[in-house]
């Protein structure tokens, strides 16, 4: 497999948030307004991104842990369509054009329909959700996402009683993305319907109060904070309600290593490394991995009676 345990980002390489905010103020003084930023948000230079400010309400579901620096979040990424090295997405994802963009919701829905970005943003008030992100490779971050509950989108299409799962398919363009069959493109992921409707599950459109950078999954991505990071599909174009469990990218590639559920569980080791500890980007010492990534109080009831070693 191509996933490797990565080296940590050195603390000296991380831009403190106050310095980033100072740069933003300078950019705004130079005359780049919000409208200009919004027009250029699809992977253009940092000044345009910094001007694309989002208004979001603080969420009571947020962690109070220290947030990972913006530079780390936006330069250390898994987005294999743009390269398998952690630095590749930030170098290559500028090629992705995210306006116009449509998300089609189909399958077992009473009112299947397509949403453009403006329609998506009107489904529910935007919130800043500060969530832990735990990757199967052993590193973690704390990211201030901006988004809204996936449940708001699903409610709008009225799932049928036969719907039990939600499948997510991501954008794939071989002209600008990796052509090698690292995974079965387009990237697919899935959740049980009750997982998708859980209040912690969101569709994110931004981070650190700004529109999502391309390398982080612009313009809209899934965020499921109690699962390993690869479950949170990026650059979503299709959401499908199904009766049968949908195939998922990593489970197809290596079913003995990546299960459908992929809940963060320190007691279930990856075949090639332990999951008992993690290294938070920007820190030196490792910390113990928490069951369900620290969200056990909110989500453990979803798996009552299940063998979490078998259903990994």
* Distances, alpha carbon 199 to alpha carbons 147, 179, 192, in Å: 12, 36, 14
| Secondary structure of 218-262 as H, E, C letters | CCCEEECCCECHHHCCCCEEEEEEECCCCCCHHHHHCCCCCCCCC
Cβ distance 63 to 142 under 8 Å?
yes
Cβ distance 225 to 61 under 8 Å?
no
The class level of CATH for 53-260 reads alpha beta
Q: Residue for token digits 């898994």?
A: 78
How is the chain split into domains, by residue range?
53-260
Helices (H), the chain: 17-29, 34-39, 46-51, 70-75, 88-92, 117-121, 150-157, 193-196, 249-253, 296-299
- Region 279-290: mean pLDDT is 96
Q: What is the pLDDT of residues 89-131, one digit of tens each?
A: 999 999 999 999 999 999 999 999 999 999 999 999 999 999 9
- Give the pTM: 0.85
Q: Is 132 helix (H, G, I), strand (E, B) or coil?
A: strand
**pLDDT value at residue 46:** 55
Going by C-alpha positions, the residue among 145, 139, 102, 71 that lies closest to residue 277 is 139
Q: What is the pLDDT of residues 142-195, one digit of tens each?
A: 999 999 999 999 999 999 999 999 999 999 999 999 998 899 999 999 999 999
Q: Is 138 helix (H, G, I), strand (E, B) or coil?
A: coil
Distance CA 58, CA 143 (A): 13
Angle ∠(226,232,237) on CA atoms, nearest 5: 150
Q: What is the pLDDT of residues 202-218, one digit of tens each?
A: 999 999 999 999 999 99
Distance CA 235, CA 302 (A): 27
Torsion sign across C-alpha atoms 262, 263, 264, 270: negative
**pLDDT value at residue 85:** 96
Tokens of 162: 């036969």
305 DSSP assignment: T
């Amino acid at each position: 497999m191509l996933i490797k345990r990565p080296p940590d980002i050195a603390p000296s390489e991380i831009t403190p948030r106050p310095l980033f905010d100072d740069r933003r103020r300078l950019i705004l003084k130079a005359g780049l307004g919000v409208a200009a930023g919004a027009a250029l948000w699809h992977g253009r230079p940092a000044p345009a991104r910094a001007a694309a400010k989002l208004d979001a309400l603080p969420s009571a579901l947020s962690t109070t842990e220290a947030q990972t620096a913006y530079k780390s979040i936006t330069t250390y990424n898994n987005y294999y369509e743009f390269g398998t090295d952690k630095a590749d997405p930030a170098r290559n994802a500028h090629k992705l054009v995210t306006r116009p963009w449509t998300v089609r919701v189909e399958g077992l829905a009473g009112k299947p329909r397509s949403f453009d970005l403006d329609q998506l943003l009107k489904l529910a008030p935007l919130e800043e959700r500060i969530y832990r992100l735990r990757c199967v490779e052993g590193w973690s971050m704390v990211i201030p996402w901006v988004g809204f509950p996936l449940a708001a989108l699903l409610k709008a299409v009225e799932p049928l009683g036969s719907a039990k799962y939600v499948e997510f398919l991501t954008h794939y363009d071989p002209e600008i993305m990796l052509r090698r069959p690292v995974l079965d493109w387009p990237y697919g992921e899935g959740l049980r319907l009750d997982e998708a409707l859980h209040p912690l599950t969101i569709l994110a459109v931004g981070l650190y109060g700004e529109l999502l950078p391309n390398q982080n999954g612009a313009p809209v991505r899934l965020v499921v904070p109690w699962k390993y990071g690869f479950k949170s599909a990026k650059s979503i174009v299709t959401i499908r309600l199904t009766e049968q469990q949908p195939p998922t990218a990593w489970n197809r590639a290596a079913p003995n290593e990546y299960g459908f559920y992929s809940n963060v569980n320190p007691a279930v080791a990856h075949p090639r490394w332990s999951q008992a500890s993690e290294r938070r980007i920007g820190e030196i010492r490792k910390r113990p991995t928490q069951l369900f990534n620290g969200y056990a109080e909110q989500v453990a009831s979803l798996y009552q009676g299940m063998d979490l070693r078998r259903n990994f």
